[in-house]
Structure 1
């Protein structure tokens, strides 16, 4: 069986056809082999009616996929309030470059390029929820377009368009497209690297290998762990070189990879000292691995559909299937196997495999559509319907397991008086501080009871005064923000340091308490003298 691929010509207005499998004949002089296209189960469709031609244009497939993804991600993009990781991004983005440099000396060194980019982004576009998340939304839209382009190069425009649409409809793409963190950008960077390595194997141009090396550097700057996709690229190059009996591309790939690693090596060495930051990651037991994988797209039902179609898409084999399968599963297997050595296996770190899932699934749809053409349209609709409840949940006003700081701030905003103070208890007091300040942007910030100055001892960590008694001003009211989990009834002083609680109870009376999701707001007024 001949296996023919249709390659997108960059800068041209037509599609050429190139063989990627060992059994395919050499391309004809006119750009394709008709018999090969007819025999392949994933061959490009030959519809000629005018109403069906728009998606066959070179630019239409990536533009349509990217536009759809952007529209889906921007729906209610500002409804969900910021959560702790996004407040970390906001805090870093609002720092001066010197402060930011001081921050990465202690933590988040691997996020320095992202933080620097967000620093200038916030200066230009502000710090609203939508503005902070817009780079991620644009990034996943670009990732969808790049996925569609890669599908177009490997299988043809129909598979490319379907892969891009499936990617844009995944609930997890909305989740991280609506988040002020770098994971959406990582997906786009990995998709770009994959596109360039495919192009390099098809064209063998020096420019493609240079672009590939630059894309790898971008991947490493955004997320070093995503470089585990390299074995998949190497497999594609080796299989293609073996088929062509031309090993020069292998040398080019090794050179491009070595150049990228050399550029990234200082970051790798320096980041190793901050490896303790990933101590929060929990291992995934072998018995839970299948459920974990099915849930990766954001809904277990959607994961089941994708994986089932992806298996069907492996029909025919060949270099492209080996490459996509290695991209889809290789990083997961490798990071899970490294669990005894280092905990790196967590959802947000491996999202870059999803374009490969969608490409294989789209190829599977094309195989099935040979007998049932309506299946091509039915699959995206099914994915949307199965994942709809997840889409709705992801747009809830409060992120799961996070406190409703927006609701807490509304109470303070309504009843605050000049001279009121604020105090925090619970985990990550700096993050509660950042949230309350953020949602009180239109008001002067409340002075903090236990903060000696407005300065910082180190970035993200406040300078605290020496003792609780000395800190207390018994003439002012205090808004006490408690973000301890509300698995039990949340009281004003739950989880507080006993010394601090004793000092507050001796000098203040709790006037009233308002409770929201995982947060309480208590108004403390001074006890009458005598």
Structure 2
């Protein structure tokens, strides 16, 4: 009876450890509900302020594939996030492809993690306060808000992996089949949302062996020694076997289907066959520094204050680590023998120390080891490890509040202040923080002309161009194959660009669209831009620089594939007009804006649009002077409307002083129309650079007739009336 009594006593204690006592705390749930609402509002604010970056636009393109292709991706080795893409396929049909609609699933997932981290914090710490503080830190985290406003799978992967950890702990507590089944299902789904989710399973396995199996094995031996030496199984052994069987089954169900994919990934990893070329190698301490900044304050424009904010959060996290490990070691020292064993206390402290340490450290270390083979570091991939960061910071802050509450209040307030500074200076900034494809393509859209072409480098950025640019059929978009971006004079590259079937053939102008960081990874010497285009074209416009996007405009020196100087003109006027003694205007064209809509009748433009002009010049005599050409709009009374556009030809990139005798040049002018409806007339004049008071005399013939203006004229009135209308009919 004594032995049986002692068995029952320790059995009850063990069960108590595996089924921790928790109780609902009204104030805590009210606080969590308020924080969840706040999290939703914070993630909803400015949801569509930032442009889509290329990865988000790429998601749209992939999600719009046919259903059969998406289902096939579910079984394709190396496909990352096929389940999320499949989900977005149906979401786009319901919600549309607008920026806010695309980011709404991430916003919802980023909101739902708030009550979940409270549940995790309360379960691990046995303290509602730790859970509430963790929920607060995660609610206001600029890092969490940032990725909750990103149309990618990372917030959903975070939600699923956090749910996986919670279900795993719950299954260990009660060993019910329903918990194990739910755990297996949710964890499996997380694999198909993001490949890095497998790192959280590694955390769970490590925790099971270090914090559950190994410590309880020592308890089993102590119980066996204190009860009897009979060979039959003790009650604890039976319990352990039951847990082992279900845990092994659950982990096997998760692992076995993954083995074929893991084998392929291992081979590809060894051969270097997977990974993205735009990533750069990152050292371990640089990775830790980046993650510390992002997990804490994400980004603050002033790097000094960003560093200070990151240090504040790091101190709270380190304080949390010290607290949980101190509790762990104290609990072990107070239980030298069976008579002093406190299973519930030991399980609780062991759970916190091992779980939070593994949760934070193991994914980071494992991912770093992966990057040694293939550079692939981006902080968003480790969003799944961030809950441990906030739980540890919450534990450290809770300890301060209980032991030195004034210091705890100061520390908490400081952390919140830095979060607020980061949110309003970066997350909620009206200035572009992501790649600004929206504004870049808006500018390009307004400057496209019929017959232009667009070349996107690297080619995978084309999805971002396609998302924002409403490209008309006569403006094709091309990419350059990556194997041709090899930094030297490759005949294959020349053939691809300028051969009889080359992509530039039949086009007068090309717009080169690049994302500098990505472009330099594929073409580090910038051979395509600095060598091929600079030697074969003239730049005609200042580079348009946006966040993460740059647009270059080029015109070909001659018609590709011919020896002709000019493309067939839209206007058949015979123009032979001299400006001074060395410049001759041989013609001009008014080119409609390239549009998917019907163009206006010739000579009509709308308010707040552009009038696209091309002037055809030729140098007839030696002259080293650089001249400025000025285009004006005159009203019906011949008065200057103030719409003046003085500039050297081709934006100053090919001034007249560098022209060779008899060299033909096409000069492009875009006149912005900010005039009321009515009729206007174009006027053109030329003068030496810096001497607008000395315009060149104009003489010659137009359609074989002398100019209908005084012989001493210094400006040419073009025989092309312009009519400004309110809107497109």
Q: When the two structures are superposed, what TM-score results if normalisation uses the length of structure 2? A: 0.56
Deviation of 1:196 (Å) = 0.6
Q: Give the 3 Å change call, closer, same or farther, for CA 70–83 of structure 1 in structure 2.
A: same
2:426 corresponds in structure 1 to 393
2:491 corresponds in structure 1 to none
Deviation of 1:473 (Å) = 5.5
The reply to whether residue 159 of structure 1 matches residue 130 of structure 2 is: yes
Alignment of 1:67-82 (within 5 A): 67-82=37-52
Deviations 1:71-94 (A, max 9, x none): 222221211111121122121012
Select 2:204's aligned residue among 233, 241, 245.
233
Q: CA RMSD in A?
A: 4.1
Deviation of 1:109 (Å) = 1.1
Q: Give the 3 Å change call, closer, same or farther, for CA 381–120 of structure 1 in structure 2.
A: farther
1:422 corresponds in structure 2 to 453
Structure 1: gaps spanning 5 or more residues: 1-21, 33-42, 47-52, 453-463
SS in 1 for 2:513: strand
Q: Give the 3 Å change call, closer, same or farther, for CA 108–199 of structure 1 in structure 2.
A: same
Contact 1:309 1:364 in 2 (8 A): yes
Deviation of 1:204 (Å) = 2.2
Give the distance between the partners of 1:448 and 1:504, measured in 2 at CA.
20
Give the distance between the partners of 2:26 and 2:266, measured in 1 at CA.
50
Give the distance between the partners of 1:104 and 1:203, measured in 2 at CA.
33
* Count of paired positions: 467
2:140 corresponds in structure 1 to 169
Structure with the largest fraction of strand: 2
Deviation of 1:287 (Å) = 4.5
Select 1:291's aligned residue among 289, 294, 316.
289
SS in 2 for 1:481: strand
Structure with the largest fraction of helix: 1
Q: Give the 3 Å change call, closer, same or farther, for CA 194–283 of structure 1 in structure 2.
A: same
Contact 1:140 1:188 in 2 (8 A): yes
Select 2:444's aligned residue among 412, 417, 420.
412
Deviation of 1:107 (Å) = 8.1
Deviations 1:282-319 (A, max 9, x none): 44434535524422405324542442342254142222
Structure 2: gaps spanning 5 or more residues: 1-10, 221-235, 298-309, 329-348, 481-493, 560-564, 568-663, 665-729
The reply to whether residue 364 of structure 1 matches residue 402 of structure 2 is: no
Deviation of 1:273 (Å) = 6.2
SS in 2 for 1:316: helix
Give the distance between the partners of 2:158 and 2:143, measured in 1 at CA.
12
1:319 corresponds in structure 2 to 350
Deviation of 1:190 (Å) = 1.0
Q: When the two structures are superposed, what TM-score results if normalisation uses the length of structure 1? A: 0.75
SS in 1 for 2:528: coil
1:468 corresponds in structure 2 to 498
The reply to whether residue 447 of structure 1 matches residue 499 of structure 2 is: no
The reply to whether residue 256 of structure 1 matches residue 250 of structure 2 is: yes
The reply to whether residue 92 of structure 1 matches residue 62 of structure 2 is: yes
Deviation of 1:116 (Å) = 1.1
1:217 corresponds in structure 2 to 188
Q: Give the 3 Å change call, closer, same or farther, for CA 480–367 of structure 1 in structure 2.
A: closer
SS in 2 for 1:522: strand
Contact 1:186 1:352 in 2 (8 A): yes
Larger radius of gyration, structure 1 or 2?
2
Contact 1:160 1:362 in 2 (8 A): yes
1:520 corresponds in structure 2 to 551
2:275 corresponds in structure 1 to 278
Give the distance between the partners of 2:172 and 2:551, measured in 1 at CA.
59
The reply to whether residue 199 of structure 1 matches residue 209 of structure 2 is: no
Deviation of 1:513 (Å) = 5.2
Alignment of 1:56-205 (within 5 A): 56-57=28-29, 60=30, 62-100=32-70, 109-154=79-124, 155-205=126-176
Contact 2:134 2:391 in 1 (8 A): yes
Q: Give the 3 Å change call, closer, same or farther, for CA 200–413 of structure 1 in structure 2.
A: same
Give the distance between the partners of 2:31 and 2:123, measured in 1 at CA.
11
Give the distance between the partners of 2:376 and 2:176, measured in 1 at CA.
35
SS in 2 for 1:447: coil
The reply to whether residue 347 of structure 1 matches residue 379 of structure 2 is: yes
Give the distance between the partners of 1:283 and 1:498, measured in 2 at CA.
26
